[in-house]
Structure 1
């Protein structure tokens, strides 16, 4: 996710960086081939599978869902229960919503409005399963299995539920223009070497951690709406009133979709990737498409091929700036104007970089947010360097070095819950984190730096990675990341 820009910080950020950016030159020309590395049937094996049927009722702002989860026990232990995140419940009460006090008026411009998930049934083999709603925000679902699930064994769980969407301009909810359906369905918690990860929907940062899975989703909605979605739409059936979308989402770690009756859709291609931008007006629509395509091209060349066949950048009722989901990025519709042109480009490039560092390679975004955010922020600098020249990238990183010295940045290795607020989190994890990666690059040189990132990407594609694994990779190249961080005061 991109930095949360409150009005004061947004003005400061735009003024500083706009003064630095003198757009010159053109996008570098790369030698292109028609071949891309994607994924194979072998990669798809041993992945859990979600099949979800969705009906969107725009009169009540509810989605009615039937979900079948084929859960594979990829742990090394026998399980008698499994846990699912039910994130919508964090929006049930004003005291539990994932916003800071200073954000509430922007998140709820019409006043607080609740959101939640209403479970109707939890079954396996047509037998009811016992379950309990847990967690600090009632957003963890514990399901007791009717058998012991050994390593590599499979259980199918059927869930019936309704989701109430809040009138909220955050990741999850609806505004005047878009319906943002994200982090909306029961999704399996990760079981790793620490056991089950059962953190709630936290306020600071991105509180998500999930395994790569396969999705088959059908969405029935009023025909006036256009759909932006994770996955590929394989079929559309429509009459005068309704439209049924069939969507295949392979090798993704989450599934999000956004609806609007106002979308203007533009398309471009990079190799065989279809790039879609969903705009709410014509202003900056061409620029948004060009930026999206450039981002996919630049990051594919720097890190390794984008493995999916579609990518969507979606203007949304979303006050925070930008937010990444597999194959889809949400962008604050307020950035689509000439005054915010640089900021729009920065946010789109940042969220697109997350397609590599979050979507393809996953990590625990609560306990180790630096793994995706610091690298993504530096990748954004690399985007500007590649597109506009080294001088532009250098000016941006020098600004971040000044911010790191002048503000009270702290340890980038902390969990999101250990930062006092979003400002401290952003300056430490994003800004200082980008400076750290620039120092690593200077120490090892461009060849080793970029080859190591390509190795990281190819080694951990579609997996979850932790901090020690990432640090050890750099140590094998003779880089002491902890030492560099201590020197970045």
Structure 2
């Protein structure tokens, strides 16, 4: 029996009000590995005195030491450069204050009255030479991949300004939905793929040997871009109304590239059906260099080159996982620095759900490993580790994987056992519909789960997400009551 929860399926489909608008003009030199340009950000302030920008590329202008940084960037990363200047607010020059990669911006010049309504317009010029590393923003001889590269507004939430440092564990990002208008100029012999619907882009030739693509997209949490040389080719198919493209290079295994593409197409269609409508007209899966494994951005994901080798067994898993992120992180946002389980755990549950249906033997093995790693936790209890903690508290990537991915997935998999796959997806669809394009917290998920279950879910979540072993029996009893109610 599947309960009709009675929540409004279209509750969050109303137009978003007062979204930021990012307008950028960018020039890219893929030979010199240089990116320069300007950005205007039109936004409605939540703090009448200040705004803050994340300048993530600045992190990679300095040496980062330690095992975790080495795992992220590689053993011998090359530093980049980054410069930002000509800062104005509403057309008037202001003096910003940079601390780490955070730029603090007064919303009026000194001595000027501060408007408490808005909107305001921040304008900033920037220039960078790209770092060379294994991470999200780098290059090799065939491509430049730009993740988390444009200046982006920091989030102001119930706890105030969120000005966290860039962490080497997990995805240290927290961003609100916005609209982007990005004009990108680069050499005519290169191709590109971006968060925007690239097929709809207007392309002009402003000077000999160059072209400019006018890229426009609404309701996205970030804007990623890859510029590729002629060694790249793509396969294209449709999943519903969305064009799916998979990009790979000469020398990659063609059969593996096609398998990756098919996994992207079929999983996007599966999640569209089970988690709610995918709103973007294009979705790109792009082979990069480095060793980032997979990295999600709205309407675009990166896969490092290992996924395009012959018989890359884990490639399909990564494709499906990054595709599921289009819903958990992309459509439903969260604080990835303090509550990473809300996107990674839900994404991994969706991943194994798809794999068990489409690739049964492979999916069953992934389920087995997630349950083994997510339920046997005495070490983590002893060391006071838990899924629901900040990235700064994870001492190693294995801790992060077992707790954030496996522990959360195990919780949802057992809930599926009690409710059945259909009902759990019904609840998740309503969850996505309710918080579509918004930011959600763990407490909001607790309240949502409580309403769906018809009884307080606190003990269940405290046991699974906080590793409160005193709640183990109560959590098991809660789950058994859910099973009994479902069978009636």
| 1:266 to 1:122, Cα distance in 2 relative to 1, 3 A | same
| 1:392 to 1:61, Cα distance in 2 relative to 1, 3 A | closer
Match for 1:236 among 203, 212, 215? 203
Query: Deviations along 1:218-274, whole A, 9 cap, x unmatched?
Result: 100011211010111321124761121110111001001011102111111112211
In structure 2, the residue corresponding to 1:339 is in which secondary structure? coil
Say if 2:377 is the partner of 1:412.
no
In structure 1, the residue matched to 2:61 is 92
| Deviation of the 1:117 alpha carbon | 2.4
Q: Distance in 1 between matches of 2:25 and 2:194?
A: 14
In structure 1, the residue matched to 2:24 is 52
Q: Distance in 2 between matches of 1:172 and 1:415?
A: 23
In structure 2, the residue corresponding to 1:69 is in which secondary structure? strand
Say if 2:472 is the partner of 1:472.
no
CA contact (8 A) 1:63 1:162 kept: yes
Alignment gaps of 5+ in structure 1: 1-36
Could you say which structure has the greater relative contact order, defined with CA pairs below 8 angstroms and 6 or more residues apart? 1
CA contact (8 A) 2:12 2:434 kept: no
Q: Distance in 2 between matches of 1:39 and 1:246?
A: 29
Q: Distance in 1 between matches of 2:215 and 2:446?
A: 37
Query: Deviations along 1:85-110, whole A, 9 cap, x unmatched?
Result: 0001110111269x725427xx356x
CA contact (8 A) 2:12 2:435 kept: no
Match for 1:167 among 125, 128, 132? 132
In structure 2, the residue corresponding to 1:246 is in which secondary structure? strand
Alignment of structure 1 residues 11-26 onto 2, 5 Å: none
Q: Distance in 1 between matches of 2:97 and 2:182?
A: 26
Say if 2:80 is the partner of 1:80.
no
Q: Distance in 2 between matches of 1:380 and 1:213?
A: 27
CA contact (8 A) 2:18 2:43 kept: no
| 1:101 to 1:367, Cα distance in 2 relative to 1, 3 A | closer
| 1:39 to 1:289, Cα distance in 2 relative to 1, 3 A | farther
Q: Distance in 2 between matches of 1:62 and 1:424?
A: 37
In structure 2, the residue matched to 1:401 is 371
Q: TM-score, normalised by structure 2?
A: 0.85
Say if 2:414 is the partner of 1:445.
no
Alignment of structure 1 residues 202-281 onto 2, 5 Å: 202-233=167-198, 234-238=201-205, 241-261=209-229, 262-281=231-250
Q: Distance in 1 between matches of 2:30 and 2:362?
A: 46
In structure 1, the residue matched to 2:114 is 148
Q: TM-score, normalised by structure 1?
A: 0.85
In structure 1, the residue matched to 2:71 is 103
| Deviation of the 1:157 alpha carbon | 1.1
In structure 2, the residue corresponding to 1:314 is in which secondary structure? strand
In structure 1, the residue matched to 2:351 is 380
CA contact (8 A) 2:374 2:408 kept: no
CA contact (8 A) 2:49 2:114 kept: yes
Q: Distance in 2 between matches of 1:158 and 1:240?
A: 29
In structure 2, the residue matched to 1:291 is 263
In structure 2, the residue matched to 1:343 is 314
Q: Distance in 1 between matches of 2:420 and 2:12?
A: 31
In structure 2, the residue matched to 1:308 is 280
In structure 2, the residue corresponding to 1:305 is in which secondary structure? coil
| Deviation of the 1:450 alpha carbon | 1.3
> After alignment, is 290-299 or 379-388 more displaced?
379-388
| Deviation of the 1:444 alpha carbon | 2.8
Q: Distance in 2 between matches of 1:195 and 1:326?
A: 26
| Deviation of the 1:173 alpha carbon | 1.2
Query: Deviations along 1:293-331, whole A, 9 cap, x unmatched?
Result: 011011111111111111000000130210000110000
CA contact (8 A) 2:90 2:120 kept: no
CA contact (8 A) 2:272 2:278 kept: yes
Query: Deviations along 1:67-100, whole A, 9 cap, x unmatched?
Result: 1100112x3xx51110010001110111269x72
Match for 1:482 among 447, 458, 462? 462
CA contact (8 A) 1:440 1:481 kept: no
Alignment gaps of 5+ in structure 2: 1-9, 477-488
CA contact (8 A) 2:334 2:342 kept: yes
CA contact (8 A) 2:374 2:409 kept: no
CA contact (8 A) 1:318 1:331 kept: no
In structure 1, the residue corresponding to 2:49 is in which secondary structure? strand
| Deviation of the 1:337 alpha carbon | 2.2
| 1:367 to 1:149, Cα distance in 2 relative to 1, 3 A | farther
Q: Distance in 2 between matches of 1:452 and 1:39?
A: 15
In structure 1, the residue matched to 2:101 is 139
| Deviation of the 1:348 alpha carbon | 0.4
